[in-house]
Structure 1
Amino acid sequence: MNKRIIISAAFFGALAVIFGAFGAHALKNILSPYGLEIWNKGVQYQFYHTFALLFLSTFARYRNSLINFASYCFTFGIILFSGSLYLLALREQLNLGGLASILGPITPIGGLLFILGWIGLLLAAVRDK
């Protein structure tokens, strides 16, 4: 198992639980229903890709560069995709009006990294003997 990948997954998993609880309790009365939906989408995709990182950690013993590539894609995808959704959901509360125009294009870059991570995993599985 790859220690770096497991530590990343544990960190992002803990944050996903914290952010999920924060959204369900603290933000429930602060955000609009649409803002809560955006927040929850960030939590949802963070969880999906945290589990993907855990799965990758079991294959890391093969020292496959595609596994490392996929883990970096999932890690930075979580930061860009979920992170930008969290900021977009809180843009009014944090007074980030102008920043929203920058955050909007960041979200799809994070989504692209997720896709590339899954493709990396696919290619690693195809190449495995």
Structure 2
Amino acid sequence: MTSRFMLIVAAISGFIYVALGAFGAHVLSKTLGVVEMGWIQTGLQYQAFHTLAIFGLAVAMQRRISIWFYWSSVFLALGTVLFSGSL
């Protein structure tokens, strides 16, 4: 994965974060309870943190190519899909 690819992943993750947040606030808040909305909010918070971390790693990968940056970004992207998506 190149730094360009990781920037694209961060942009897509950010888009999904905003879209799901708006969907949750405007559509799901009418049908879900407080507990379920809390789950959505927690998932979105973790996705926001992961998105910022992936973006930071992509910028770092542009300055210095390292296998550690590569694997960190891979696992962060995987964690975003598996953990934030499961909530």
Question: Which TM-score bucket, shorter chain as reference?
Answer: over 0.9
Give me the whole-angstrom Cα distance separating, in 2, the residues matched to 1:48 and 1:20.
Answer: 14
- Structure with max Cα Rg: 1
TM-score, structure 1 normalization: 0.64
2:79 to 77, 80, 83: 77
- The correspondence of residues 1-129 of structure 1 with structure 2, limited to 5 A, is 2-61=3-62, 62-85=64-87
Distance in 2 between the 1:76 and 1:2 partners?
16
Give how far 1:16 is off.
Answer: 0.1
Gaps of 5+ in 2: none
Higher helix share: 2
Q: Spell out structure 1 runs of 4+ moving beyond 3 A.
A: none
- How much has 1:8 moved relative to structure 2? 0.2
Cα deviation for residue 32 of structure 1 reads 1.1
2:29 partner amino acid:
K
Separation (CA, whole Å) in 1 of partners of 2:54 and 2:85: 17
> Which TM-score applies when normalising by structure 2?
0.93
Q: How many residues align?
A: 85
**Which structure has the higher relative contact order (CA within 8 Å, separation 6+)?**
2
The alpha carbon displacement at 1:46 in A equals 0.4
Q: How much does 1:36 deviate?
A: 0.4
Distance 2:74 2:31 in 1: 34
Shift of 1:22: 0.7
What is residue 89 of structure 1 aligned with on the other side? Answer: none
Shift in Å at residue 59 of structure 1? 1.2
